[in-house]
Amino acid sequence: MHEVSLVRGVFRSLEEEFNSDQLAKMQTIRMKIGLLSNVEPVLMQNAFNAVKEDNPQYANVNLDIESIPIEVHCDICGKDSVVSNYRFVCDCGIPTNNVVKGEELLIHQVEFLD
């Protein structure tokens, strides 16, 4: 499953960034996942739980996913509009494929116990 390797990658990059004392106090991983990232938040959460079972040191860590809507920028009126139902049209009615949000797939914040 695509999401399992993504979750492993998340843990790997955290292991590179933090030492084991810090990792032992890790409480919440906050991720931003855009609607265009091809990652389904529910599947990501399931994969996270599965990977945790294989890595008991992370048993108390939670994953918090913020789903990011798609936004496009319009060169005609200069506004950013939220795309609904994959209709890439600005609020002013001009079609645009200039995506400025929605492709995110990133660790936004990591919280630790004091």
Question: Among 1-9, 19-27, 74-82, 106-114, which window interacts with Zn ion (CB under 5 A)?
Answer: 74-82
> Alpha-carbon distance 3 to 105, whole Å?
12
> Applying CB under 5 A, what is the total number of residues that bind Zn ion?
6
Residue type at 17?
Answer: E
50 vs 76, beta carbon nearer Zn ion: 76
Contact status, residue 68 vs residue 35, Cβ threshold 8 Å: yes
Question: Among 29-37, 52-60, 86-94, 101-109, which window interacts with Zn ion (CB under 5 A)?
Answer: 86-94
Question: With binding defined as CB under 5 A, does residue 72 bind Zn ion?
Answer: no
Which member of 7, 47, 51, 90 binds Zn ion (CB under 5 A)? 90
What are the backbone dihedrals phi and psi of residue 100, each rounded to the nearest 5 degrees, phi first? -110, -15
- The continuous run of DSSP H or E covering 1 comes out as none
Contact status, residue 63 vs residue 81, Cβ threshold 8 Å: no
Residues that bind Zn ion (CB under 5 A): 74, 76-77, 90, 92, 94
